[in-house]
Amino acid sequence: MLSVETAIKKLRSIVPQVKEYETVPLREGVGRTLKRSITAPQHSPPFDNSAMDGYALCGPNRIEPGTRFEVVGESRAGHPYGEQLDEGHACRIFTGAVVPTGTTTVVCQEDVLNGEGNVMVNRECVGMENIRKKGMDATKGMTIASNRDVLSPYSIGWCSAFGLTDIEVVRRIKVAVFSTGDELRDPGQQLQPGQIYESNRTALIALLQSKPVELVDLGQLSDNPDEIKQSLLSIAGEVDLIITSGGVSVGESDFVRPVLEEIGKLEFFSLALKPGKPLAVGTIENALFFGLPGNPVSTIVTYLLFVAPTVDSMSGIPWHRPTHFTAKLTTKISHKSGRREYQRGVFVEDNRELSVATTGDQSSNRLGSFKDCNCLIVVPAHRDDLEDGEMVDILLLPNQRSVY
């Protein structure tokens, strides 16, 4: 049995990075990896503008309280005052409006008394207050997003502030997903005795939806080695990644691994991992292949640990550990040393301390263990039982309800 670390090391050595690119509308760029750095095509903001609703003043560098200014015009956002401001003059101004040339400072409307055609400042003002200078966010030519950055909603908003409409990104990773098993039916079909509804393919497709992938849902394969072989061979030349679930153990109906060995290359199999011991990873032609274990919890856990970072890595995102924290265990965990275990857990924050409990029966067929689950609790391979009160590592689950 391979340790999780060794398996990840082996996997990383065979994961290729996609070097083909496409141009997409900026608004569709979230989660995509940039082909090259983006530099600011102009200053942002493109002109000096007011940070407040108030008055642009033209006066000495230090203006005493009680000084009056004649109001000669108005500058609204999108409607500049086109004239030069002269000594002793003020211009009504609003947030985001162009600061007229000649302005020496902007005073907030709360800091003036309005008179007939004039304003009197009622506190001392110094030069260039309340003015957002041209280029204060970024100057023309500055790097606003770097080569291989993954675009976030924030960086996309920023790119939009420079008027960008399209971006060049790594093309989507093509992923084919199969489930295997004679007992499986899709929801909507009638179940016959001994049959169950399939859930792995559905969960995998839902998980992959947050990744930059082009998905091919290839449905179910029966436990028939010829059918599995033909199906895998017919798709291998078309995609970057093939994922199957089930049929990968050592039972008499488990044909996925022998087929992989026949038509491709098996890199590793059998991990010191719970759930997810029978995981077959290899290649078929140029496609990476993941034969995930069939038990639904094992499918999801091995997806999170191995497939998700692989998809990221193929898209150019550096391999990274999932976001993790330390939390105090509030339930005992029964465990026998030998395999690293990832139990489903629910953590809460209480008085700045994280505490975590398991979500009940942790059998690998129990999708119910994901109910209310917001993290995976890591049980080290070398440990036996973990006691209530111990500090443990927890990995955040992706797609959790946002805190905002």
Q: Which H or E run includes 234?
A: helix 225-236
Piece of 22-30, 291-299, 346-354, 392-400 that binds ligand AMP (CB under 6 A):
291-299
Residues 167-196 binding ligand AMP (CB under 6 A) are 179, 181, 183-184, 196
**Is residue 246 within the footprint of Mg ion (CB under 5 A)?**
yes
Chain position carrying tokens 């008499």: 252
Closest CA to 8 of 279, 394, 367, 330: 279
Closest CA to 199 of 65, 288, 297, 80: 297
**Is residue 276 within the footprint of ligand AMP (CB under 6 A)?**
no
The answer for residues whose C-beta is within 8 angstroms of residue 324's C-beta and 6 or more apart is 378, 393, 394, 395, 396
| Closer residue to ligand AMP (CB): 162 or 269 | 269
Q: Work out what residue 275 binds among Mg ion, ligand AMP, none; the CB cut-off runs from 5 to 8 Å by kind.
A: none
**Is residue 398 within the footprint of ligand AMP (CB under 6 A)?**
no
251: which DSSP letter?
S
In the complex, the smallest distance separating the C-beta of residue 161 from ligand AMP, rounded to whole angstroms, is: 45
Residue 223 has which token pair? Answer: 């436990």
Of 246, 291, 316, 345, the one binding ligand AMP (CB under 6 A) is 246
In the complex, the smallest distance separating the C-beta of residue 207 from ligand AMP, rounded to whole angstroms, is: 14
In the complex, the smallest distance separating the C-beta of residue 324 from Mg ion, rounded to whole angstroms, is: 32
In the complex, the smallest distance separating the C-beta of residue 182 from ligand AMP, rounded to whole angstroms, is: 9
Residues 107-126 binding ligand AMP (CB under 6 A) are none
| Closer residue to ligand AMP (CB): 1 or 196 | 196
Residue nearest to ligand AMP (CB): 294
The answer for residues whose C-beta is within 8 angstroms of residue 118's C-beta and 6 or more apart is 68, 69, 70, 71, 90
**Is residue 294 within the footprint of ligand AMP (CB under 6 A)?**
yes
| Closer residue to ligand AMP (CB): 177 or 287 | 177
Residue 85 has which token pair? Answer: 């401001």
What is the spatial distance between Cα 373 and Cα 358, in angstroms, rounded to a whole number? 8
Of 49, 200, 359, 369, the one binding ligand AMP (CB under 6 A) is 200
Beta strands in 14-158 (DSSP E): 21-25, 38-39, 49-50, 54-57, 62-63, 68-75, 89-93, 105-108, 112-114, 118-121, 125-126, 131-132, 143-145
List contacts with ligand AMP (CB under 6 A).
179, 181, 183-184, 196, 198-201, 245-249, 251, 293-296, 365
